[in-house]
Amino acid sequence: MARRKKIYEGKAKILYEGPEPGTIVQYFKDDATAFNAEKKDVIDGKGVLNNRLSEFFMTGLAQIGVPTHFIRRLNMREQLVRNCEIIPLEVIVRNYAAGSMSKRLGIAEGTQLPRPIVEYCYKDDALGDPLVTEEHIAAFGWASQQDMDDILSLALRVNDFMSGVMLAVGIRLVDFKIEIGRVFEGDFQRLIVADEISPDSCRLWDIETGQKLDKDVFRRDLGSLTDAYSEVARRLGVLPKSNVTKPTLIN
Ligand code: 5GP
């Protein structure tokens, strides 16, 4: 079989050229990184869990009419997605103060915000993904005003969907990060949710106990990341019970 062409390798995923024009194969690695890759490890099974969880969230979003890059899952670690031009912004939605917002503004972690707050960071590892304003985004041409209106609406719809799905299984969606891609359909362009949605890019706290079930477990050395992600998958019914504690490592 011919070797696939690798298009890009990031910290947690590899992108390969897809089988049809306009498609990409997204491979989920087991690598975990934090603090701009200063902290690194390989977490057995993380890629399998994130592949399944991202499929679950993206499929649910499509069902409520939120466009995403997801086409179909191919195997335990890979999914077929639409090729899109990624807007160089991390779009962060916060429902409770935590992480960098708590540090920046001196608000205790876990404080409920008066309403969801959307922030934008410029995607640049060398700069540590700095927070930017809509002024920067417009002035540097990263996105138009129409794009920004669409991005805000997508971000808030994803927030409502994810908050509801998580609340139903006893988990608080504290915050999350999404990336947005541009696709061209004839003369028109459309914005879609791209990259991934998984516990790598969300803060998820158990409502009863406050236990962290997301990448902060790795960032802050709070225990087993696989156990935390498996718990999210188990509550959502994403993995069959036999696979929950020991996700298969094939592929
Ligand atoms: P913070 O700005 O507090 O560090 O992160 C806010 C939210 O965005 C958290 O849920 C965090 O996991 C997510 N996030 C921010 N930057 C990144 C990033 O570079 N990669 C990933 N996977 N998630 C991020």
The single residue listed with the structure tokens 């359909």 is: 185
**Which of 177, 198, 216 best tests ligand 1's pocket when mutated (most atoms within 8 Å of CB)?**
177
Element (H, E) at 181: strand 171-185
Instruction: Residue count of the chain, please give it.
Output: 251
The response to whether residue 99 sits with its C-beta less than 6 Å from ligand 1 reads: yes
CB burial of residue 92 (10 Å; 0-12, 13-18, 19+)? buried
Find the helix or strand (DSSP H, E) in which 174 lies.
strand 171-185
Q: Whose CA is nearest to atom 11 of ligand 1?
A: 201
Q: pLDDT digit string (tens) for 19-44?
A: 999 999 999 999 999 998 899 999 99
DSSP letters spanning 125-187:
GGGT--EE-HHHHHHTTSS-HHHHHHHHHHHHHHHHHHHHHHHTTTEEEEEEEEEEEEEEETT
Of 158, 151, 115, residue with least CA distance to 132 = 151
Average pLDDT, the chain: 95
> How do residues 91-134 score in pLDDT, each as one tens digit?
999 999 999 999 999 999 999 999 999 999 999 999 999 999 99
**Can you give the pLDDT at residue 244?**
47
pLDDT of 249: 54
Tally of CA atoms within 13 A in the half-sphere of 49 that contains its CB: 31
Bigger pLDDT: 240 or 64? 64
Q: CA-to-CA distance for 63 and 20, rounded, in angstroms?
A: 24
Chain segment 69-92, per-residue pLDDT in tens: 999 999 999 999 999 999 999 999
Q: Strands (DSSP E) along 29-170, which ranges?
A: 31-34, 39-42, 70-73, 78-82, 85-86, 89-96, 112-122, 131-132
Testing ligand 1's pocket by substitution, the residue of 91, 101, 196, 201 carrying the most ligand atoms inside 8 A of its CB is: 201
Give the number of the atom of ligand 1 that is nearest the alpha carbon of residue 99: 3
What percent helix, strand, coil does the chain show, rounded to 5? 30, 35, 35
The pLDDT score that the predictor gives to residue 93 is: 99
Nearest CA to ligand 1 atom 15: 177
Give buried/exposed letters for 157-178 (b at 16+ CB in 10 A, else e).
ebbebbbebbeeeebbbbbbbb
SS3 193: strand
Residue 241 pLDDT more than 70?
no
Q: Which two tokens stand for residue 122?
A: 């410029």
